[in-house]
Chain A
């Protein structure tokens, strides 16, 4: 992350100096800026696709854990993705606005491209809201996992402890594999009253196995449901992503060499980042999400790594979509696996614990505890970063509108 930020600093510096020297934006220099921008995009996503290997170390454990944390779709990786977005965005805004004659971006084709871009950014705001909310659901899973961990860490492990763990695990596993339609209250719940929520919770409980323990737990799942329609009735993440890509086409002909190019790149990055976030955590209504992202053509250099990441995640999504999943966040995926295998352990448990089974369970419990710890450390910062992204998008939009207003062409924001 750091190198990228450094690049950005020097880059901005250079632009401002140069732009000050030449009042008319020199075409050749603009070309150079654009190329640099593309290169930075390419570099940043390449780093995301294949994180740099940690320096060789004596402690193999550390290496393994570093590798795991950096994995695509891990919380740490998602946080890096947010940083990348912020860097790209800052650089893009410099290109778009700094030292530029305002009238230039209000003339065709920008009178179409700029409003389209602003329109996309509004949709991104809704996605940010939904994702921040989705992360709250993840924190709820974390708490369920923690309950299971607490129960299974009891020594001597009694049937009661296992019973408690099993309840938490059942809720966890159900929550992690629920699809959006179930995970998120449907349209009816949008404005619906509390009664509905309660009904829903109970029906969930029944789904999760029918035992009294599980149906009790249904209420806890119900809790996330009531809050999942954070964005408003009938809002759908998949539809938003789809709408964001609707008019997103690579510039052709003359336009390909000029400002439309970075606008296309930035919009692509924005849609991509939003798409990743929606796939990572529970989000309101995502059916067909994998198909809703049109990737840029492969021949574009800057897009190679982005396409690579897209393919990886897209494949995972398609796999998960079949069996249902709350999200592709790496920690959630592992949590789900551990949850299942600890459930097995719990199902076969007889007091007093069998030594071998207890030992392997203990290792899994430790791993689960480790995931919880990482979530505890990183989920809230991730939420904060997404809020930062949110505020950045708002600010940039305001700045662009201000410039347009100066140009006198647009007195009211589009949208």
Chain B
């Protein structure tokens, strides 16, 4: 492909050196008006040397002035022919491209030659000079258009497969309360799967690599002719537009602060999710490719290449940063924790990429803004996490939870915690220096995994401790001791099951699990004692009269009826636990009853016995079968 520099004819080389010297002198003069006298003298000496040299040079060529004029005329004709041509020069083929650049070179030679000896020229030469300035401007304008057209036509899109992934994902819908995080919803909530794919792409080409040399040639020519500003403006505007367009395909909308603060949680959740993806794609893929493109085209002018990248990306990048800033202004609602975690995680991850994108002073404001945002997200995430515990602690109920089943707070907290192991590293770094009282302060023989003693593990256990206290308080609301035990048993069992069945087990550790199993088993015992002891005591006879025996039998039946009436409404949702409870109750009650009847049935008389052993056995199976409370009831009992 044509490069301006390589096209210099031999005779032009001298001219080139000459031009360079001339520029140096000019630049030195322009750079400092207060040159000291010696330097000024030196410069004017040099200038006069250059002038004589220039004159000598033109004198040599003077003979060929008409020849130069002919070449110039031809060059202008070529340039003019492209002025109104709407197809790109590139399309016309290599020879056309070379011809155009050669024409441009001829025009520029005239300008340089003339500028070297502005005083000693005649009118004809002046006219040529003037025509040359016009021809140059036409050529430059044409190249600017060429640049825009080539960039447009050979634009390449960044991996559309990214986009497909985003729509496949399903968002979890949180309510802004503790109620709605059901088990089923959580199943879908594994959030990291798609991030992996981004790292698989390194840079991709934003512009077809085959046209890069052509663009680079345009850049070199325009810079040499001091049309660098025009080049940069055009380049920046096309690339910026392409980035805007890409943002539209990513469906990343811009929101004002007012918008973000007013947004419904569901929408915000979606926008935050999108942001997490988009900022990664933009910094790690798109802008990395943009930087590469700038480098390929403007690599010879490094500071300009950097400045262009900043100008192209600044607007988009700042709008992404603003979204982060706005989100941080939202209140620290526990249900936002996971989104904040992933936003923070990404913001920390991309810092390396941002530092690479904008390494120098001019880009420092962007670099700093990213670092600031990441810090803010860290603080906000930590605060949200800590506030989670406060929210649990302050969750108060006025009435006992119906049926002694699994409280929605327990569900919410445990299912929430289940989401967190994905962010283990992030949480560990965020919580590193935040002290917390832990139920397992020291390493014991049972737990050997370091993860069990990580900052995150300590905090999670502490959260669950807070949950336990809250449950204890809720349990105090039950008038019935037995139901209180059922309630605690159910909830502790649920906690243990959630921990055992997930990644949480490595964090909570075996000791915690063992302690908590013991805890709910204690509640099973408590239940049996408080529910059945007094009733079973009726069945222990001490040389009773028939009347007393009949009385006992009747009292037992009444008491049993009472239990049956109550406890069939109670709930033990865990089938295994319910079976265990049925069996152990059955063993105790049926055995005692069978023994009692075996010893006393004849004396009491059949008509005085309301329940057979089989009746009791069957009825016991009806206990704790209450189906989960209907939602309407549930919601009326929030807090």
Contacts and interface: CB of A to CB of B under 8 A. Distances in A.
A161 interface: yes
Contacts of A2: none
Contact of B329 (A150, A240, A397): A397
Interface stretch (A74-82, A186-194, A334-342): A186-194
A163 interface: yes
A415 B248 CA distance: 28
A384 B134 contact: no
B13 to A, nearest CB: 25
A415 B261 contact: yes
Given A136-B315, A160-B137, A191-B248, A122 B237 contact: no
B280 interface: no
A21 to B, nearest CB: 33
A126 B259 CA distance: 10
Contact of B240 (A125, A160, A223, A232): A223
B67 interface: no
A40 B48 CA distance: 63
Contacts of B314: 136
A190 B131 CA distance: 45
Contact of A125 (B138, B257, B262, B331): B257
A106 B259 CA distance: 26
B331 A163 contact: no
A122 B329 contact: yes
B503 to A, nearest CB: 32
B245 A194 contact: yes
Nearest to A128: B257
A198 B241 contact: yes
B256 A126 contact: yes
Given A147-B229, A394-B329, A194 B237 contact: no
B133 A197 contact: no
Nearest to A350: B130
A154 B227 CA distance: 13
Contact of B134 (A163, A198, A235): A163
B5 interface: no
Interface in A114-173: 122-123, 125-126, 129, 132-133, 136, 143, 146-147, 150, 154-156, 158-161, 163-164, 167
A363 interface: no
B254 A223 contact: no
Interface centre among B126, B133, B141 (most CB of A within 10 A): B133
Contact of B325 (A226, A352, A394): A394
B157 to A, nearest CB: 12
B130 A351 contact: yes
A178 to B, nearest CB: 16
Interface string A20-64: 000000000000000000000000000000000000000000000
Scoring A150, A216, A227, A351 by chain B CB atoms within 10 A of each residue's CB, the highest score goes to A227
A369 to B, nearest CB: 12
Contacts of A240: 258
Interface in B247-264: 248, 253-259, 261-262
A10 to B, nearest CB: 31
A231 interface: yes
A197 B148 CA distance: 14
A111 to B, nearest CB: 17
A159 B241 contact: no
Contact of A352 (B126, B226, B237, B255): B126
Contact of A415 (B134, B240, B262, B318): B262
Name, among A136, A222, A223, the residue most crowded by chain B CB atoms within 10 Å (CB to CB).
Answer: A223
A230 interface: yes
B253 A158 contact: no
Given A155-B118, A233-B254, A194 B242 contact: yes
A301 B440 CA distance: 65
Nearest to A155: B118
A123 B134 contact: no
A412 interface: yes
A226 B233 contact: no
A204 interface: no
Given A143-B229, A159-B130, A122 B148 contact: no
Interface in A224-252: 226-227, 229-233, 235, 240
A226 B241 contact: yes
Contacts of B262: 415
Nearest to A189: B244
A129 B322 contact: yes
Contacts of B325: 394
A65 to B, nearest CB: 17
A161 B133 contact: yes
Given A129-B322, A193-B245, A122 B254 contact: no
Interface of A: 122-123, 125-126, 129, 132-133, 136, 143, 146-147, 150, 154-156, 158-161, 163-164, 167, 190-194, 197-198, 213, 216, 219-220, 222-223, 226-227, 229-233, 235, 240, 351-352, 384, 387, 394, 397, 411-413, 415
Q: Which 4 A-B pairs have the closest CB atoms?
A: A160-B133, A158-B133, A223-B237, A194-B245
8 contacts: A136-B314, A155-B118, A158-B129, A159-B133, A160-B132, A216-B145, A351-B126, A397-B329
Given A133-B315, A198-B241, A220-B233, 15 more contacts: A126-B256, A154-B133, A158-B130, A159-B131, A160-B137, A191-B248, A219-B237, A220-B234, A226-B244, A227-B315, A229-B254, A232-B254, A352-B126, A397-B329, A413-B331
